Amino acid sequence: MKVLIALVGGYLIGARAGSRDFDQLSKSLRALYESEEFDDFVRALRSHASHTLRELADVLDSGGELLPTHDLVERVRQLAARD
């Protein structure tokens, strides 16, 4: 996704062909955004995120104390070490 954004941004910044190509790009992006495939992609992404968050909640609810830390990376390391 970052690559797509970078490509679009680079095209918009570096385009010298005029407003006709910009309008064509806008129409293409709008068509992509409104497509059924994009909706399916967003649904799958939300489902995956939801499933991952549920699994994380189960790990946290399973008991056991973690060392108090505000560092997210350290907390993930502690969780991974518990498995």
**What integer pLDDT is reported at residue 79 of this predicted model?**
73
Instruction: Give residue-wise pLDDT tens across range 21-59.
Output: 778 878 888 998 899 999 999 999 999 998 888 887 777
- Closest alpha carbon to 11 in 29, 28, 32, 25: 25
Q: Which residues contact 21 (CB under 8 A, 6 or more apart)?
A: 15
Domain ranges of the chain: 2-82
Comparing 13 with 27, the larger pLDDT belongs to: 27
CA distance 9 to 78: 39
